[in-house]
């Protein structure tokens, strides 16, 4: 069994154990490994424009807001924008700040016919620490994975 297959099987087992409505759940390092090795895999960042501009972004990720800033109102065009940017047959890895919005986006995408959706657990910034700060406990940035500041 290859490394990609093993990672995806672990992510799928995680999703079953967590009773998730999409194919799998990946940790950031696993998601990065998939993106590096699986042809056609696509990272979809569903954070708001403000977060992307102020906090940082992952190079080459598709960017579609799940909720818009200010007010964090649901993006009524999310699925239409997704269909324009990401092929339904693609392996889609979805990330947000902490893994919550990406969970909902992965569920919605799966329901819309995207059969290979994976949520990136911990998200870009990870969970809050005891001082109510992010970027110290988990997440894409803490894992030292590629990102850029706008």
In a domain, 81, yes or no: yes
In a domain, 53, yes or no: yes
Structure-derived torsion over alpha carbons of residues 38, 62, 109, 88, reported in degrees to the nearest 10? -60
In a domain, 16, yes or no: yes
Quick one: pLDDT at residue 1? 61
In a domain, 54, yes or no: yes
DSSP state letters, 56-95: -B-TT-EE--SEETTTTEE-TTHHHHHHHHS-TTS-EEEE
Classified as helix, coil or strand, 39 is coil
Q: Report the share of the chain in percent with pLDDT over 90.
A: 87
In a domain, 148, yes or no: no
What is the sign, positive or negative, of the torsion defined by CA atoms of 3, 33, 10, 64?
negative
How many domains does the chain contain in total?
Answer: 1
pLDDT greater than 90 at residue 135? no
2 burial (CB, 10 Å; 0-12 / 13-18 / 19+) is exposed
Domain containing 32 — which CATH number? 3.40.250.10
Give the contacts of 126 (CB within 8 A, at least 6 positions apart).
Answer: 98, 134, 135, 136, 137, 138, 139, 141, 142
Classified as helix, coil or strand, 135 is coil
In a domain, 19, yes or no: yes
**Among all chains, which residue has been given the structure tokens 């007010």?**
71
Q: What residue numbers bound the domain in which 100 lies?
A: 3-120
In a domain, 9, yes or no: yes
What is the sign, positive or negative, of the torsion defined by CA atoms of 93, 67, 136, 25?
negative
For residue range 68-124, what is the model confidence (pLDDT) as tens digits?
988 899 999 999 999 999 999 999 999 999 999 999 999 999 999 999 999 999 999
In a domain, 131, yes or no: no
Quick one: pLDDT at residue 132? 82
Cβ distance 121 to 96 under 8 Å?
A: no
């Amino acid at each position: 069994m290859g490394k990609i297959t093993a990672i995806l099987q672990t992510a799928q087992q995680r999703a079953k154990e967590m009773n998730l409505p999409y194919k799998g759940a990946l940790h950031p390092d696993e998601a990065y490994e998939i993106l590096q090795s699986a042809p056609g895999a696509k990272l979809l960042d569903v954070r708001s424009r403000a977060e992307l501009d102020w906090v940082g972004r992952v190079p080459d990720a598709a960017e579609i807001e799940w909720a818009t800033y200010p007010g964090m109102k649901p993006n009524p065009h999310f699925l239409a924008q997704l269909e324009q940017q990401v092929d339904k047959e693609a392996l889609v890895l979805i990330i947000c700040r902490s893994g919550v919005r990406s969970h909902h986006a992965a569920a919605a995408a799966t329901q819309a016919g995207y059969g290979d959706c994976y949520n990136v657990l911990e998200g870009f910034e990870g969970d809050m620490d005891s001082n109510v700060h992010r970027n110290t406990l988990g997440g894409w940035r803490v894992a030292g994975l590629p990102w850029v500041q706008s």
